[in-house]
Amino acid sequence: MQTYADFHRRSLVERDAFWAEQAQRIDWQTPPQQICDTSRPPFARWFVGGTTNLCHNAVDRHAAQRPTDRALIWVSTETNQERIYSFAELQAEVECMAAILREQGVGKGDRVLVYMPMIPEAAFAMLACARIGAIHSVVFGGFASGSLATRIEDATPALIVSADAGSRGGKVVPYKPLLDEAIQLSSHKPAKVLMVNRGLAAFEPVAGRDLDYAAARAVLQGTRVPCEWLESNSPSYTLYTSGTTGKPKGVQRDTGGYAVALAASMDYVYGGKAGETYFSTSDIGWVVGHSYIIYGPLIAGMATVMYEGLPIQPDAGVWWSLVERFKVTVMFSAPTAVRVLKKHDPAYLKKYDLSSLRALFLAGEPLDEPTARWISESLGVPIVDNYWQTETGWPLLSVANHIPGVAPMPTRFGSPGVPMFGYDVRLLDENTGLELTGADQKGVLTIRYPLPPGCLQTVWGDDERFVRTYWTGISGQQVYSTFDWGVRDADGYTFILGRTDDVINVAGHRLGTREIEESISSHPAVAEVAVVGVADQLKGQVALAFAVLRDASRAATPELAKALEAEVMKVVDGQLGAVARPARVLFVSVLPKTRSGKLLRRALQAVAEGRDPGDLTTIDDPSALAQAKALLAPAVPA
């Protein structure tokens, strides 16, 4: 039996032969003529000349072979509703949605923006776009109008699919007013908006623009819409990820490479098999929702659970009740969710029959050892950490324990694992660019060219930004930077130490601190601001803001400071959404800077986390950190 290291090495040394084998996992109308085109680095084209379709591979081929098998299981504890669709029923709904889109003139290459809660119609919309060759761009339903407007401007959708409202913890969140305001703010005006009315929030349709989904469905139900066969490198979707500037980055994904990578990962990484059930607790607004709620499980022929609700509603056993009812074999969640469950009665973990569950995978943020050990002992199943990004689309680091003829690897608490097949991962010294091969050497986690199938092709509409952002940051070398620090132990397991840039990770949501700073700075009382990510036991990190006011008297008393803090947070809510709201906004008279004017965010972060801020001789005004320290004691969340 070979080792995983040997298997991984083959995926790099015999790259084309390896991926040609993996390509056989999906259906092609025309087989690929070339496995990997590396003629234009750092761009790579996979399975060149092959034509395929994501929707066909996720739905049609299974509907033909196993029409009555469960495909989509939707459960909402927000509305106490539940729907189960077989593969045949899912295909019929997707074809109907595709017919609606097609009737509105949407076709191959057109963009469709999806601004939806976790409801089946969102899945129908994504799969329908894939079916007709349109490019979907899903925006998380909690995003505020300002953020939504920037995405509408960047994607220039022909049509938007939305709903009257979402619900979170029993609180209805109306989407239509946010969407209408976003369209008003955007320079691009979509021709049509398709509205799913859940009956949660009343709204006024815009005459000539807004369409009622239920009415259109009644007319077009039963319409057959064939799949559009796309060249492998045709874009399938864009998904926006936070960066260090206010302008969002639209990660552009291909079609064939993505389908092949997901199919291989479902088998080798997750061990999922056709006829089984996969449960990811994520949201379709994030990359996990794309890869492992919608496409991955369905491509593998599994039933996928789509859940709308909290992990503690109606009680902290709700997820485990779903595992028991639907015989979930593979589950995927985030460390924050586990930390939430840890605060509740552990009896909920023993209340249900979890014998079907083979493993729980966790990703989205660093998994601390105490949390991993607690859930492992509580569930009695393997807990598998995995590390990846919106950009990679599937795991970059994990343990692949389901490969025939390859010895399984043990997991290691605190580490997401080792490089997955196809990823040529190197730790590089940030300053010299030299590779670090020894144990416990801190470096930047990078990937050598070419990125494997399924990773981003480019930044939507901006090839130059793709090259500049990801491929030129380390000593002039053309390597992909993850912007994460890492170290390896003597056995090759990688440990992630945090970001090298200004992106923080709040409960699995990537947020650019510069974006939050720009939002806070737009408040007329604020002269200057610094936002840092501070370690938090529950969420992994929270954003903490330090603001200098134009007029210090605005925060002269605790009461005034509290009122102004609420105002500033309201601005962030309105521009970026509640997900970007800082845990606190603290008002100081000066920010720590070097004599050259560089803002020392890392020193602020160290003080906020109770760490040594290091050499303070470079700080122009040492009182800046003393001020921050004095304010922090009651301010930082426990």
CATH number of the domain bearing residue 481? 2.30.38.10
379 and 448 co-located in one domain = no
Could you tell me if residue 232 is inside a domain? yes
Q: Which of 396, 419, 442 is at the close of a domain? A: 419
Residue 224 lies in a domain: yes
pLDDT, one tens digit per residue, over 447-485 is 999 999 999 999 999 999 999 999 998 877 899 999 988
Pairing of strands 540-549, 584-588: parallel
**Which one is predicted more confidently, 537 or 462?**
462
83 lies in some domain: yes
Task: List, as one string, the DSSP characters of 422-464.
Answer: T--EEEE-TTT--B--STT--EEEEEPSSPPTTS--EETT-HH
Domain harbouring 566, CATH code: 3.30.300.30
Instruction: Looking at mean pLDDT, say which of 61-70, 539-548, 554-563, 599-608 comes out highest.
Output: 61-70
What pTM value is reported for the model?
0.84
How far apart CA 601 and CA 545 sit, in angstroms, is: 10
Do residues 365 and 488 both lie within one domain? Answer: no
Residues 271 and 381 in one domain: yes
Which residues does residue 241 pair with via DSSP β-bridges, in sequence order? Answer: 249
Task: Please say whether the beta carbons of 600 and 592 come within 8 A.
Answer: yes
Q: d(Cα 414, Cα 392) in Å, to the nearest integer? A: 21
The DSSP annotation for 470-520 comes to HSS-BTTB--EEEEEEEEE-TTS-EEEEEESSSEEEETTEEEEHHHHHHHH
Report yes or no on 577 lying in a domain.
yes
Same domain assignment for residues 23 and 147: yes
Of 499, 532, 549, which residue is a domain's last? 499
Single-letter residue type at 22: Q
Beta bridge partners, 172, equal: 167
Structural domain includes residue 609 = yes
- Has residue 246 got a pLDDT over 70? no
Are residues 61 and 121 both part of a single domain? yes
381 and 515 together in one domain: no
Q: What is the pLDDT of residue 166?
A: 95
Q: 443 and 358 share a domain?
A: no
Q: Provide the mean pLDDT of the chain.
A: 92
* pLDDT value for 637: 43
Residue 637 is assigned to a structural domain of this protein: no
**Do residues 442 and 516 both lie within one domain?**
no
User: Among residues of the chain, what percentage have pLDDT more than 90?
Assistant: 73
What is the phi-psi region of residue 508: left when phi exceeds 0, alpha when psi lies from -120 to 50, beta otherwise? left
Q: Are residues 454 and 595 in the same domain?
A: no
**626 and 519 within one domain:** yes
Higher pLDDT, 601 or 5: 5
- Domain identity same for 490 and 552: no
User: Which of 499, 525, 558 marks a domain boundary?
Assistant: 499
Contact present, 176 and 193 (Cβ < 8 Å) = no
Q: Domain of 494?
A: 425-499
The number of folded domains in the chain is 3
The reply to whether 437 and 540 lie within a common domain is no
Does residue 490 contact residue 439 with C-beta atoms inside 8 Å?
yes
Query: In the chain, how many H helices and how many E strands?
Result: 20, 32
CATH number at residue 18: 3.40.50.12780
Residues in CB range of 578: below 8 A, 6 or more apart: 142, 144
Q: Is residue 638 part of a domain?
A: no
In a domain, 388, yes or no: yes
Is 598 a residue whose pLDDT tops 60? no
Please write the tens of the pLDDT for every residue from 75-90: 999 999 999 999 999 9
Q: Is the pLDDT of residue 367 over 70?
A: yes
Residue 548, pLDDT > 70, answer yes
Give residue 570's identity as a one-letter amino acid code. K
Q: How far is CA 391 from CA 23, 29, 326, 510, in A?
A: 21, 27, 31, 12
pLDDT tier for residue 596 given thresholds of 50, 70 and 90 = very low
